Amino acid sequence: MQQRRLGNTGLTVTEVGFGGIPLTRLGLEEGAELVRQAVGLGFRYFDTANLYGDSEVKMGLGLMGLREQVALATKTRARDGDTAARHLEKSLQDLRTDWIDLYQLHNLSEAGGLERVLAPDGAWPMLERAREQGMIRALGFSSHNPDQARAAINSGLFASVQFAFNFVEHDSYQRVFSAGLARGMGLIAMKPLGGGLLQRADLCFRFLQAHPEVVPIPGIQSLAEAQEIRDLYENRRPLSQQDQQDMRAIRAELGERFCHRCEYCLPCEQGVAIPNVMLFQTQQRRFSPEMIKNISSRAMATVENCIECGQCAERCPYDLPIPQMMRELYQQYEQFLAQHGLS
Ligand code: SF4
Ligand code: SF4
C-alpha cells in the first residue's frame, strides 16, 4: 500500500486506513490479533474513538511493539476541557501509548458545539496544551453535519476533517472536503462502504481511489476483509463504464432518503428501535423473506410505540423525516410479509 501525507497534519499514513468500530464485535485477543495482522498486511493508519466500546483496548494490545510503525488516531466526544482531559488520559492508557498522532473532536455536528469547544474552559485550550506537551501530534475533527463541518474548517484551527464519503454520499466532496482541501487539511472518509449499506467493496474503493487526497478508514472486522481491501489497492484499476453504470443503478435504487446507521437519533424514550426499523430499507434486497422476518419483526413491533414527538428527527444529522419514514417502512414490511405468505 502506498503512503501519503495526511494534509498538513504532518503525518504520513497509508492510502487506506483501518477503522476500529468493528473491533467491538470481536474478543479481546481476536481483535488484537486482527490489528497485528493488518499491520502485517501493510496498514499503517489506525482510527478509533473512546466511544467505540473496548476498541481502543484491543487496538492498544494489538499495536504493542508496533506502535512506532503506525499513525494512530482517536477521538473524544467531550466539549469541555475537564472531560476532554479525562478522555485523553484514558485513551493513552487503553491504547498503551505516550502520544496520539491525530486526536479528533468526535462528531462536531451540533449547533454551538464549536463555540463550546473554543470557550476558555472548553476542550480546545486543554487539547492545545496537550499538543504542546507532546501527547498529541495533530488535532482534527469528525462531523456528520456539512454546515458545522464547514464552520470548523473555516475556523482554521484543525489539521484534518473526517466526513462520510462514498459513491452514494459523493456530494460530501463539494459540501465539505473542497473547503478542507483549500486549507491544506487532511481529508478522511468515514463510511467508505456506506456504513455497511454498500456491498460492492470493489466499486466503493475504485470510486475513492479517484480521490487520492481523501484517505478512507473502512471498519474492518476480519482478516479476509483486510486482505480484500489491501488487494483492491495493490491491484487497482480505474472505474470502467460498467462500474459507472452499476454505481448509478445503486444510487437510483437507494435514493436520497436512506439511513446511515449513525444512531444519533437514539435513544427514543418510547423504545422505538429506529435504526433497526430503517434497516428494512436495505434488508429486503439482500436476504430471504424468512430471514427478513426474523431480523425485523422485533424492531417493527416497536413502531407502534412512536408518539411522533419528533426528537429523533431533530437529532438526525441527515435530516431524515424519521417518524414518516418509519410509518412507510412499516407499511412496506406488512405488504412484504403478505406477499410472501408470512403474515
Ligand atoms: S418521534 Fe417516535 S421514534 Fe422519534 S423519538 Fe419520538 S417517539 Fe421516538
Ligand atoms: S435515522 Fe438518522 S440519526 Fe438515526 S441512524 Fe439513521 S441516519 Fe442516523
Find the 170 Cα to ligand 1 centroid distance in Å: 29
Q: What is the pLDDT of residues 331-342, one digit of tens each?
A: 999 999 999 999
Does ligand 1 come within 6 angstroms of the Cβ of 310? yes
- The CA 258 to ligand 1 mean position distance, Å, reads 17
Look at 255 and 28; give whichever has higher pLDDT: 28
Nine-digit cell at 41?
A: 498486511
For the Cβ of 158 lying below 6 angstroms from any atom of ligand 2, the answer is no
**Atom number in ligand 1 closest to CA 274:** 3
Q: What residues contact residue 67 under an 8 Å CB cut-off, 6+ apart?
A: 96, 97
Looking at the CA of 307, name the nearest ligand: 1
**Ligand 2 atom nearest 261 alpha carbon:** 5
Using alpha carbons, select from 64, 62, 163 the residue that is nearest to residue 109.
163
Euclidean distance between CA atoms 98 and 131, whole angstroms: 12
> How far is CA 325 from its chain centroid?
23
From the CB of 164, is ligand 2 less than 6 Å away?
no
CA of 260 to the centre of ligand 2 (A): 6
Cα distance between residue 115 and residue 95, in whole Å:
29
Residue among 263, 268, 300, 316 to mutate when testing ligand 1 (max atoms within 8 A of CB): 268
CA distance 280 to 295: 9
CA distance 200 to 292: 21
For ligand 1, atom 6: residue with the closest CA:
309
CA of 296 to the centre of ligand 1 (A): 18
Q: Which amino acid type is present at position 220?
A: I
CA–CA dist 81, 86 (Å, integer): 9
Q: Which three cell numbers stand for residue 11?
A: 503525518
Instruction: Measure 273 CA to ligand 1 centroid, in angstroms.
Output: 9
CA separation for the pair 117, 101 (Å, rounded): 20
Exposed/middle/buried for residue 68 (C-beta within 10 Å: 0-12, 13-18, 19+): exposed
Residue 283 pLDDT level (bands cut at 50, 70, 90): low
Retrieve residue 145's grid coordinates: 453535519
**What confidence score (pLDDT) does residue 84 get?**
98
Q: Which of 263, 306, 314 to mutate to test the pocket of ligand 1 (most atoms within 8 A of CB)?
A: 306
Q: Tell me the torsion sign for CA atoms 121, 122, 123, 124.
A: negative
And the C-alpha cell for 246? 452499476
For residue 272, the CA-to-ligand 1 centroid distance in Å is 7
311 lines ligand 1 (CB under 6 A): yes
Residue 252: pLDDT band with limits 50, 70, 90: confident
**Whole-angstrom distance, CA of residue 74 vs CA of residue 102:** 7
Q: Can you tell me the distance from the alpha carbon of 103 to that of 95, in angstroms, rounded to the nearest whole number?
A: 13
Which ligand has the nearest atom to the CA of 169?
2
Does ligand 1 lie within 6 Å of residue 303's CB atom? no
Largest CA distance in the chain: 65
User: For residue 310, which ligand has an atom nearest its CA?
Assistant: 1
Give the model confidence (pLDDT) of 117-146 as tens digits: 999 999 999 999 999 999 999 999 999 888
Residues 202-241: tens digit of each pLDDT: 999 999 999 999 999 999 999 999 999 999 999 999 999 9
Collapsing DSSP to helix, strand or coil, 249 comes out as: helix
Cell numbers for 223? 482478516
Asked if residue 270 has pLDDT above 70, the reply is: yes
How much is the pLDDT for 317? 77
**Least confident window among 32-46, 142-156, 285-299:** 285-299
- Domains of the chain: residue spans and CATH: 3-246 (3.20.20.100), 274-339 (no CATH)
Q: Which of 193, 192, 267, 262 is nearest to 49 (CA)?
A: 262
DSSP 28: H
Mean pLDDT score of the chain, rounded to an integer?
93
Q: Does the pLDDT at position 41 exceed 90?
A: yes
pTM for this structure? 0.82
CA dihedral 72, 74, 80, 83 (to 10 degrees): -100
Using DSSP's 3-state secondary structure scheme, residue 98 falls into coil
Does 312 contact ligand 1 (Cβ within 6 A)? Answer: yes
Q: What is the chain's length?
A: 343
User: CA–CA distance from 267 to each of 31, 106, 316 (Å)?
Assistant: 28, 18, 12
pLDDT band at residue 196 using 50, 70 and 90 as cut-offs: confident
What are the beta bridge partners of residue 102? Answer: 73, 138
Instruction: Quote the cell numbers at residue 146.
Output: 456539512
Q: What is the DSSP letter of 174?
A: I
Count the Cβ atoms, other than its own, within 10 Å of residue 320.
20
